[in-house]
Amino acid sequence: MPQEVKLPDLKNEALDQIPRAFAQGGLSASFAAAGAGVARTLATQRNMKIHWLAALMVTLVATALPFDLSIRVALIFSIALVLFAEILNTALEAFVDLHIKDYHRLAMLAKDAAAAGVLVLALGTVIVFTEMVYLQWQVVLDNQPAVWTTVTWGFPLVLSEWVGLFLVKRSPLAFGRFALSHVFLMLLIPISADPIFSALGFILVWVAFLARHIYPHSDMAELGES
C-alpha cells in the first residue's frame, strides 16, 4: 500500500509563531518596501534605466498628441508591463545568485529565459507603438507645432535624465540636473494634450532622482558589499 502523506497541522502552535502579514509596520511598510524595490532596481540595473528612459519618451509623445482613450490605455499598459518584467527579471537573477554560488547550467537557463522574456515583451511593445504611430500619422501631421515643441524640449529632458541615471549620483550637480529636468517638463505643459501623461512625466523624473539619491550604487555587486 502507498504510504499516506501527512499534511501539516494548521492548528499547530508552531505555525502560530509565524508573523502575520503587515505585522512589521503595517500596510504602509509594505508599500515602502515595494517602492524601495522599484528604486533599487532602477538605481542598479542598466536595462531598467534604458526602459525608464524609453517610458519617458513614450510619455512625451502621448503628452503632445491627442490620441484616443484606447491608444492611451495601451501605452500605459505597455509601459507598466515592460517595467514589471524587468523588475521580475531582476528579482529572479538575485534569487538565483543567492542560492547558486558556482556556475551551473540550470542557473544560466533560468537567467537567460527571464532575460528573453523581457526582450520579447520589449520588442512587442516597440511594434505596438510603431503600429499606433503609423495608424495615427495624420494626427502627427495635424499637430506639428506640438511635435516640434516636444522635440525641442523633450530631447534635452531625456538627455538630462540619461545623465542622472548613468553618470551623476549624489552631488550638487545632481540637484541642478534634477531642477533642469523640471524646467523642461514645465515648458511642455502648455502643449500637453493629456494631464495624466504630463503628471506621469513628472513621476518618472522624480522616481529616477530619488532612486539614484537613495541608492547611489552602480550595480548589484556594490549593493551587496555595502
Q: What is the pLDDT of residues 92-142, one digit of tens each?
A: 888 887 777 777 788 788 888 888 989 999 999 999 999 999 999 999 999
pLDDT at 78 over 50: yes
The pLDDT of residue 18 is above 90: no
Catalytic residues: 86
* 142 within domain boundaries: yes
Domain span including residue 53: 48-225
Res 223 pLDDT > 50: no
Q: Is residue 13 part of a domain?
A: no
pLDDT at position 55 over 50? yes
In a domain, 43, yes or no: no
- Whole-number pLDDT of residue 33: 87
Q: Strand, helix or coil at 6?
A: coil
Question: How much is the pTM?
Answer: 0.83
Q: How confident is the model at residue 10 (pLDDT cuts 50, 70, 90)?
A: very low
Q: Do the domain assignments include residue 20? A: no
Average pLDDT of the residues of the chain:
84
Task: Bin 22: left if φ > 0, else alpha if -120 < ψ < 50, else beta.
Answer: left
Q: Classify residue 31: in a domain, yes or no.
A: no
d(CA 135, CA 87): 31
Give the span between the Cα atoms of 51 and 208, in whole angstroms.
12
**Total number of residues shown for the chain:** 226
CB atoms within 10 A of CB 213: 18
% of the chain surpassing 70 pLDDT? 84
Total domains present in the chain: 1
Stretch among 1-5, 56-60, 64-68 having the lowest mean pLDDT: 1-5
- Which amino acid is it at 105? R
Please answer whether residues 208 and 177 qualify as being in contact, where contact means their C-beta atoms are separated by less than 8 angstroms: no
Average pLDDT for 163-181? 89
Instruction: State the Cα–Cα distance between residues 85 and 57, nearest whole angstrom.
Output: 19
Share of the chain above pLDDT 90, in %: 61
Q: Which of 19-28, 130-139, 204-213 has the lowest mean pLDDT?
A: 19-28
Given a cut of 50, is residue 224 above it in pLDDT? no
> What is the Cα–Cα distance from 211 to 37, expressed in whole angstroms?
10
In a domain, 158, yes or no: yes
Q: For cell 540550470, what's the residue?
A: 106
Cα distance between residue 205 and residue 158, in whole Å: 10
**How many angstroms separate the first and last alpha carbons of the chain?**
55
Residues with Cβ within 8 Å of 85's Cβ and at least 6 positions away in sequence, in order, are: 117, 118, 121, 122
Task: Tell whether 210 is covered by a domain.
Answer: yes
Kindly state whether residue 14 falls inside one of the protein's structural domains: no
The whole-number pLDDT of residue 225 equals 37
What is the pLDDT, as a whole number, of residue 20?
53
pLDDT at 219 over 80: no
Look at residues 201, 213, 202, 216 and name the one whose alpha carbon lies nearest to residue 175. 213
pLDDT recorded at residue 168: 82
| Higher-pLDDT residue of 15, 45 | 45
Query: Per-residue pLDDT averaged across 139-155, rounded?
Result: 94
Domain at 79, CATH number = 1.10.287.3610
Task: Give the burial class of 158: count Cβ atoms within 10 A of its Cβ; 0-12 exposed, 13-18 middle, 19 or more buried.
Answer: middle
- The mean per-residue pLDDT over the stretch 10-24 comes to 50
